Amino acid sequence: MEQVKVVLRDDEIPRRWYNIQADLPTPMSPPLHPGTGQPVKPEDLAPVFPMNLIEQEASSERWIDIPEPVLQKYALWRPTPLCRARNFEKLLDAPVKIYYKNEGYSPAGSHKPNTAIPQAYYNKEFGIKRLSTETGAGQWGSALSMACQMFGLECRVFMVRVSYEQKPYRRMMMNVWGAECIPSPSVRTAAGRKVLEEHPDSPGSLGIAISEAVEDAVTGKDARYSLGSVLNHVLLHQTVIGLEAKKQFEKIGEYPDVVLGCAGGGSNFAGISLPFVMDRIHGKQVRIVGAEPSSCPTLTRGPFGYDHGDLACMTPLLPMYTLGHDFVPAPIHAGGLRYHGMAPIVSHLLKENLIEARSYNQLETFDAGVKWARTEGFIPAPETTHAIAAVVEEAQRAKEEGKERTILFNWSGHGLVDLASYDAYLTGKLSQYELPEEEIERAKRTISRYPRL
Amino acid sequence: MEQVKVVLRDDEIPRRWYNIQADLPTPMSPPLHPGTGQPVKPEDLAPVFPMNLIEQEASSERWIDIPEPVLQKYALWRPTPLCRARNFEKLLDAPVKIYYKNEGYSPAGSHKPNTAIPQAYYNKEFGIKRLSTETGAGQWGSALSMACQMFGLECRVFMVRVSYEQKPYRRMMMNVWGAECIPSPSVRTAAGRKVLEEHPDSPGSLGIAISEAVEDAVTGKDARYSLGSVLNHVLLHQTVIGLEAKKQFEKIGEYPDVVLGCAGGGSNFAGISLPFVMDRIHGKQVRIVGAEPSSCPTLTRGPFGYDHGDLACMTPLLPMYTLGHDFVPAPIHAGGLRYHGMAPIVSHLLKENLIEARSYNQLETFDAGVKWARTEGFIPAPETTHAIAAVVEEAQRAKEEGKERTILFNWSGHGLVDLASYDAYLTGKLSQYELPEEEIERAKRTISRYPRL
């Protein structure tokens, strides 16, 4: 029998997260206060996040210990197997070995619990009683609901109304885990009421939902806000994926030539790739590639500059590739990749040419996803199909060049709660979106208001 | 860190299935031909199943080699981890260790692929080009769709119309895996057309769907029928679960006092328990308990006798506990447990007092399922919640008796495609069903037409 999976025991879960801020060849620009335009100070963030996470956000320690209670919860499904996609390799008929980390094995079905668990833990440690957050497609909201339940915190999730209505299964998952899921805009917050007064039938947006969640957190007693991507500490927590993968490659005496992940806010991509970027910084030959939708091509076409993380301009200005905080993404099914910005760490790495980026339209990605499901069995999330499309492209290049290649990618989650998108694809109802050039010009104008980088 | 999971490598997947027919203390009664009432001969079944599976059905060899191509597909997700539910243990506060096999890790989300894969393989080997089957809730239909795709077979699934309409995600899974899913009753078969003439709005039933699938198979070219539970060869394939569990217990130097599984047709229950029943037959102290719905209490209240497997009386007469093939189950959410009969092997073991059975109503089981999800993270399928309810009862008994107990159960699948049932439970919309005594009398009358056992 040919080996398909490299498994690790519970006691082989990495004991420390990797903080790439310690290894960056050039320093990152600081986030700026939205009001003053000055670098954000820890106390500015104190109403929003607990101080232990704020410290982690700014830390330059290379290794940060994973607390024992977090490890114990990780062990419910971690380490995830490193799997070799031998059947997909045969289909592609190219000189490649394809490995993937199956993050769909978590109870919520994606990589999101890797940061939801520690965020709930650190908030609990800090004396917080309730977390508020927003969710678009629902992956993040469900992961945080589970994590809060496990650490005895209340959880409130503001879910974009159109998703709340179209994706009832995600809301139901949150309820099973004891969270309250509220369609946004809601009457619960001033931000929500303002929108509803002007647009009673508003379908909502991630921008509105963020505003509601932040307001709900900062006005609540012993409450804080939680974010599922973009920020440094979120990416830090996700590095457990790449660190495990490196241990697993060591066991079989291999090392990837290319590391791939889909990139929305940047957390799953960073999670698998940052430990390999570390090696690259230290001279190792390894390429790192982020895959994004051609309809939301932040890394491949967006300008680099300071921009807000949200539509309402409440968040600090972050140094990042961005399509402008006023960008309205096309209604593609990979909800997790419809974000205008990109994690500052990931943006900085691209700026420094330490990583690459590619974009794919959703007809290409669903084609890759269906081929995957029909050979490897597991049905990938719409987001994950972008990474698979990048694998297909890498394999084709390898074939053309006649060069062998070992590919590693992050299978960020399964698509069992997103099957309607596959149905739309298989029945010819999906459209292909390419972002018009005017949108890039608009993005440049948007960020021209803020300090230059 | 406390250990949570016992993992095995790919090359530790069992190489042989266990056939309990070799070890039964008393012989099982043979299946009878529905027309002649005589024991069924292999050639009688030849139009329905391929001869290699018919031979397996009747085999008395103790160990049957798992073919290499089947092992290779199993390795996509097997061995599944043996997990210890430490958080659920803490909640129950009883002197028990609770272990479970997580069969939700398969691509289809349940134990069903354990037999779908070999069934597709053996049919392919025999030269078959297409398989037909029926599905109620959709677990089996989706598993067979995936398996057929992997071995290059066409797959047609007749899905009970009411489920087809209420559970679109299962149909979509089948489509992603390339199968054709047809709402039953359909105009494709004489059986379906007959029903539609009389009842154009028929919601369908498993009995009708079986009739359609069998007819479609026997009238098709190079086509056969496939069944997801009940039969000996199906249970045989599932023993990979229990065999893995035994290896995993050996690794930690433990052995269960009780082995539990939910029981519908009997395949997941048999899958985890038959290798332990073998030990019990050979003198080992171990209790084996099947958990079923109180609304469909086949093992706990049904009479034992010959009965048909289907409503249309097309299948052989099987020796089993049964509520009568004309039984109409209450609309509980555990679709996989709404079957009037029980696998002849499981029935025989109960008759011989080698196993026990208990029943639970769905309010008890969903209560157990929600508690599980809120402590262990993973959301169990409605069927699986019956096994969890049995775990809760065993733990309470252990507490009352002040005796330590090691419990093993089969976590047969996740509930991510069955979240609507949790929503109904959480919003107080679920009813409790207890089968009236008249139904047992009716069942006795039904089987009184057939040869006595």
Q: Residue A110 gets which letter from DSSP?
A: B
> Would you state the pLDDT for residue B314?
84
- What percentage of residues in chain B have a pLDDT greater than 70? 100
pLDDT tops 90 at residue B166 = no
Give the minimum alpha-carbon distance from B388 to chain A in angstroms, rounded to a whole number: 16
In a domain, A37, yes or no: no
Domain coverage including residue B437: 68-109+233-447
> Is residue B328's pLDDT more than 90?
no
B308 CA: distance to closest CA in chain A (Å): 34
Max distance between CA atoms of chain B, in angstroms, equals: 64
pLDDT of residue A424: 95
Predicted local distance difference test score (pLDDT) of residue B109: 97
- Chain A residues whose beta carbon lies within 8 Å of the beta carbon of residue B68: 1
Contact A413, A381 (CB under 8 A): yes
Using one digit for the tens of pLDDT, what is the confidence trace for A251-262? Answer: 999 999 999 999
Considering only alpha carbons, which residue of chain A is nearest residue B3? A10
| Interface residue A147 vs chain B (CB under 8 A) | no
CB contact (8 A) between residue A68 and residue B420:
no
CATH number of the structural domain spanning residue B383: 3.40.50.1100
C-beta of residue B282 within 8 angstroms of C-beta of residue B357 = no
- For tokens 């899958």, the residue is B271
Q: Mean per-residue pLDDT for A78-101?
A: 98
Chain B residues touching A422 at Cβ < 8 A = 172, 175-176
Per-residue confidence (pLDDT) for residue B5, from 0 to 100: 97
Does some domain include residue A53? Answer: no
Residues of chain A contacting residue B75, judged by C-beta atoms under 8 Å apart: 1, 3-5
Distance from CA of B123 to the nearest CA of A (A): 19
Mean pLDDT for A309-335 is 89
Tell me the DSSP string of A307-358.
Answer: EESSTTS-SPEEEEE-S-TT------S-GGG--SS--HHHHHHHHTTSSEEE
Q: Is residue B324 part of a domain?
A: yes
The Cα B9–Cα B247 span in angstroms is 11
Residue B132 lies in a domain: no
Per-residue confidence (pLDDT) for residue A311, from 0 to 100:
81
Q: Give the angle subtended at the CA of B308 by the CAs of B306 and B313, to the nearest 5°.
A: 140
Question: pTM for this structure?
Answer: 0.97
Q: What whole-number distance in Å separates Cα of residue B169 and Cα of residue B179?
A: 14
Query: pLDDT tens digits, residue range B279-317?
Result: 999 999 999 999 999 999 999 999 999 999 988 888 899
Contact B204, B181 (CB under 8 A): no
Contact B252/A at CB under 8 A:
no
Task: Tell me whether strands B258-262 and B405-411 are parallel, antiparallel or unpaired.
Answer: parallel
Confidence of residue A198 (pLDDT cuts 50, 70, 90): very high
User: Residue A319: inside a domain, yes or no?
Assistant: yes
Q: How far apart are CA B351 and CA B29, in angstroms?
A: 12
Residue A310, both tokens: 């949200």
pLDDT for the residue B312 = 81
| Residue A257 CB-half CA count within 13 A | 14
Is B208 a residue whose pLDDT tops 90? no
- The confidence band for A86, taking pLDDT boundaries of 50, 70 and 90, is very high
Q: Which residues of B touch A423 (CB under 8 A)?
A: 168, 172, 175
Please report whether residue A286 resides in a domain.
yes
Of B149, B377, B423, the CB nearest to A107: B377
| CA angle, B288 then B414 then B212, to 5° | 85
CB A188 within 8 A of CB A164: no
- What residue has token string 């069934």? B119
Q: Residue B270 class from Cβ within 10 Å (0-12 exposed, 13-18 middle, 19+ buried)?
A: buried
Identify the sign of the CA torsion B334, B336, B341, B343: negative
Instruction: Kindly determine whether residue A173 and residue B146, on different chains, have CB atoms separated by under 8 Å.
Output: no
Query: How long a stretch of residues is chain A?
Result: 453
Q: What is the ipTM of this complex?
A: 0.97
Size of interface A-B (CB pairs under 8 A): 143
From the list B73, B172, B379, which residue is nearest A420 (CB)?
B172
First CA to last CA across chain A, in angstroms? 55
Task: Supply the pLDDT for residue A390.
Answer: 98
Report the number of distinct structural domains present in chain A.
1
Residue A150 sits at the chain B interface (C-beta within 8 Å): yes
| A281 and chain B in contact, CB less than 8 A | no
Q: How crowded is the C-beta side of B294, counted as CA atoms within 13 Å?
A: 14
**A416–chain B Cβ distance below 8 A for any pair:** yes
Q: With residue B190 as reference, give the H or E element that holds it.
A: helix B190-198
The model's pLDDT over B50-86, given as tens digits with 9 standing for 90+, comes to 999 999 999 999 999 999 999 999 999 999 999 999 9
Give the minimum alpha-carbon distance from A147 to chain B in angstroms, rounded to a whole number: 8
Q: Which helix (H) or strand (E) holds B443?
A: helix B437-447
Q: Please report, in angstroms and rounded to a whole number, the separation of the first and last CA atoms in chain B.
A: 55
Residue A218 clears pLDDT 90, i.e. is over it: yes
| Whether the Cβ atoms of residue A65 and residue A16 lie closer than 8 Å to each other | yes
State the pLDDT confidence band at A330, using cuts at 50, 70 and 90. confident
Residue of A nearest to B375 (CA): A150
Give yes or no for residue A137 having a pLDDT over 90.
Answer: no
Average pLDDT of the segment spanning A232-257: 98
pLDDT average, residue stretch B122-128? 98
Half-sphere exposure of A2 (CA within 13 A, CB side): 11
A54 neighbors A45 (Cβ within 8 angstroms): yes
Mean pLDDT lowest among A79-93, A193-207, A322-336? A322-336
- What secondary structure does DSSP assign to B279-336, as a single string? HHHTT---EEEEEEETTS-HHHHPPEEEEESSTTS-SPEEEEE-S-TT------S-GG
- B173 part of contact set with chain A, CB < 8 Å: yes
pLDDT of residue A167: 86
Whether pLDDT at B136 is above 90:
no
Q: How far is A422 from chain B (nearest CA, A)?
A: 7
Q: Do B178 and A374 touch (CB under 8 A)?
A: yes
Q: In chain B, count H helices and then E strands.
A: 18, 15
Task: Name which of A157, A81, A138, A144 is nearest A118 in CA terms.
Answer: A144
What pLDDT does A396 receive?
Answer: 98
Q: Hey, is the C-beta of A201 within 8 angstroms of any chain B C-beta?
A: no
pLDDT band at A435 (very low <50, low <70, confident <90, very high): very high
Over residues B6-30, the mean pLDDT reads: 97
Residues from chain B that touch A83, judged by Cβ atoms under 8 A, are 76
Nearest by CB to residue A75, choosing from B5, B169, B177, is: B5
pLDDT at residue A447 above 90?
Answer: yes
Average pLDDT over residues A381-405: 98
- Residue A27 maps to a domain: no
Q: Which of the two residues, B350 and B137, has the higher pLDDT score?
A: B350
What residues in A contact B71, CB-CB < 8 Å? Answer: 1
Residues 29-68 of B with CB under 8 A from A: 68
Asked if A247 and A153 count as a contact pair (C-beta separation under 8 A), the reply is: no
d(CA A432, CA B425): 40
CA distance A263 to A228: 13
Q: Which of A72, A150, A419 sits opposite B1 (nearest CB)?
A: A72
Angstrom distance (rounded) from CA B299 to CA B301: 6
Closest-approach residue (CA) in chain A for B177: A374
What's the CA gap between A83 and A102, in Å, rounded? Answer: 7
Tell me, yes or no, if B453 comes closer than 8 A to chain A by beta carbon.
no
To the nearest whole Å, the CA of A341 is away from the closest chain B CA by: 30
Asked if residue A172 is part of any domain, the answer here is no
Task: Give the H or E element holding residue A445.
Answer: helix A437-447
